[in-house]
Amino acid sequence: MLEGLAPALPFHRRLGATNLWLFGPLVQRRLAAQPATDAALRTTIAATVIAGGDRDNVLPRRARAVVNLRVHPATRPRPPWPGCARWSPILW
């Protein structure tokens, strides 16, 4: 990812982005310090849509959630909880 961005970066950042074998830990620490780039370093999961009942203090018979799972390319995907593979066979 960083190698593709390197030509558009200033020299000092391009140096780090094109020599990750040397500056990898420093670049990773720098990316982890910002919330916007921190998610690029690991697998993330977020519930984006949650729908259920329409009354307060009453449990609905059915509920629905759309979960956005962004798997980091270096991670081997596996179900995060039992039964997940049954719902999303494409991911596993």
**Mean pLDDT, 10 residues at a time, over the chain (92 residues)?**
85 90 91 87 87 91 87 70 55 45
**What's the CA gap between 86 and 10, in Å, rounded?**
47
The pLDDT tens digits of the residues spanning 55-64 come to: 999 999 988 8
**What's the CA gap between 9 and 34, in Å, rounded?**
17
What angle separates helix 20-32 from helix 11-18, to the nearest 10 degrees?
Answer: 110
> What does the pLDDT read at residue 92?
42
The pLDDT tens digits of the residues spanning 26-36 come to: 998 998 999 88
pTM of whole model > 0.85? no
Partners of 45 in beta bridges: 69
Domain ranges of the chain: 2-39
Q: CA of 26: how far to CAs of 5, 33, 35, 89, in Å?
A: 17, 11, 16, 37
